[in-house]
Chain A
Amino acid sequence: MTMVKLPAATAPARPAATSRTRRGRADRKPRILIAVTALFFALLYLPIAVVALYSFNSKKSLTVFGGFSLRWYRAFAHDDVIIASLGTSLRISLVATAGSVVLGVALALGLVRCRTRLGSLAGLVMLVPLITPEIVTGVASMLLFKGLGIALSTGTVMLAEITFSISYVTVILRSRVAALNPEVEEAAMDLGATRWQAVRLVTLPALLPAVLASAVLIFALVFDDFVLAYFTTGVDPQPLSVRIYSAIRFGVQPTINAVGTLMLAGSIALIALALFIPRLFGRRGGLDILSGE
Chain B
Amino acid sequence: MALLRHSSRTRKDTSGNRMWVWLMLPGTLWMTGFLIASLALVAVLAVGTTDELGNPRFGFDLSGVRALADPAYTEVLARSLGYALLTCAICLLIAYPVAYTIALHGGRYKNALIAAIVVPFFANYLVRMYGWSVVLSDDGPVLRALRAIGLADSNTKILNTGVGVVAGLVYGFVVFMIIPLYAALERLDVSLVEAGRDLYGGPFRTFFFVTLPATRQGAAAGLVLVFLPAMGDFVSAQLMGGPDQIMIGNLIQDKFFQGQNWPLGSALTMLLMLVLLVGMFGYLRRTRKDEAEVRR
Partner of A244 from B27, B45, B126 at Cβ < 8 Å: B126
Q: Determine if A170 and B272 form an interchain contact, defined as CB atoms under 8 angstroms apart.
A: no
CB-defined contacts of A103 to chain B, threshold 8 Å: 26-27, 30
For B141, the chain A residues whose CB sits under 8 A away are: 46, 50
Q: Contact check, B26 vs A106: say whether CB atoms are below 8 A apart.
A: yes
Question: Is A139 a contact of B34 with CB atoms below 8 Å?
Answer: no
**Please, what's the 1-or-0 string for A256-286, where 1 marks a CB less than 8 Å from any CB in chain B?**
1000100110011001100100000000001
Stretch at the interface among B67-75, B100-108, B151-159, B285-293: B100-108
- The interface stretch among A67-75, A76-84, A140-148, A205-213 is A140-148
17 A-B residue pairs with Cβ-Cβ distance under 8 Å, sorted by A, are A26-B105, A29-B105, A36-B97, A37-B97, A62-B134, A63-B139, A107-B27, A118-B21, A125-B36, A132-B273, A139-B265, A147-B56, A195-B15, A244-B124, A287-B115, A290-B118, A290-B122
Name the interface residues of A220-246: CB closer than 8 Å to any CB of B: 220-221, 224, 226, 231, 241, 244-245
> Is there an interface contact between A125 and B126, defined as CB atoms closer than 8 Å?
no
Cα(A275)–Cα(B120), bound, Å: 13
Contact (Cβ within 8 A) A47 B239: no
Query: Separation in Å of the A161 CB from the closest CB of chain B?
Result: 11
- Within the complex, which residue of B119, B126, B265 is in contact with A226, where a contact is CB–CB below 8 Å? B126
The 7 tightest CB contacts between A and B, nearest first, are A110-B24, A133-B232, A47-B131, A107-B27, A114-B20, A144-B38, A140-B38
Contact between chains at A50 and B21 (CB < 8 Å): no
B4 CB to nearest chain A CB (Å):
14
Cα of A33 to Cα of B24 in the assembled complex, Å: 47
Contact B27 A166 (CB under 8 A): yes
B135 touches A106 (CB 8 A): no
User: How far, in angstroms, from A143 to B57 measured CA to CA in the complex?
Assistant: 12
Known: A37-B97, A143-B42. A51 touches B26 (CB 8 A): no
Q: Which of B136-186 contact A (CB under 8 A)?
A: 137, 139-142, 171, 179, 183
Q: A37 and B115 in contact (CB under 8 A), knowing A135-B272, A139-B256?
A: no
